[in-house]
């Protein structure tokens, strides 16, 4: 079983992989099927990592939209043909930078506490 710290690193890695191609912009996302698949896949990975976080860790940081992240993962996996690309791009552009920063803070504070 992967540790909570490893799951948090999985979240950051997924975000960084998304950023790699999201940096090309919305037009590239709309026009390039490979970029779409790349972003959608890594959003699924991110959602899986969040879903695997312990409830007590999620409860300690209630300001993060854990449920919404898991919900998006479920939509991406189970309702593939109904995916709203506008909503996906909005999440990538608007939500991921803040999530990345907050997960980095969690890693630097919570994981330090666990190791003590």
From the list 56, 78, 94, 116, the catalytic residue is 78
Concerning whether 73 is annotated as a catalytic residue, the answer is yes
- The number of residues making up the chain comes to 116
Instruction: Dig out the tokens for 43 from the structure.
Output: 């959003």
C-alpha 116, offset from chain centre: 28
Instruction: Dig out the tokens for 14 from the structure.
Output: 């997924």
From the list 42, 56, 60, 73, the catalytic residue is 73
- Closest by CA to 12, choosing from 68, 115, 96, is 96
- Closest by CA to 92, choosing from 28, 9, 5, is 28
The burial of 103, by beta-carbon neighbours within 10 Å (0-12 exposed, 13-18 middle, 19 or more buried), is given as: buried
Q: Which residues are catalytic?
A: 73, 78
């Amino acid at each position: 079983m992967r540790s909570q710290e490893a799951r948090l690193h999985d979240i950051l890695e997924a975000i960084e992989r998304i950023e790699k191609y999201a940096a090309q912009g919305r037009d590239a996302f709309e026009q390039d099927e490979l970029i779409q698949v790349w972003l959608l896949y890594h959003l699924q990975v991110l959602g899986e990592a969040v879903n695997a976080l312990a409830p007590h860790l999620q409860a300690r940081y209630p300001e993060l939209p854990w449920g919404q992240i898991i919900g998006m993962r479920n939509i991406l996996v189970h309702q593939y043909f109904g995916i709203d690309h506008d909503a996906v791009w909005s999440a990538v552009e608007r939500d991921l930078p803040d999530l990345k920063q907050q997960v980095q803070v969690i890693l630097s504070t919570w994981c330090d506490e666990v190791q003590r």
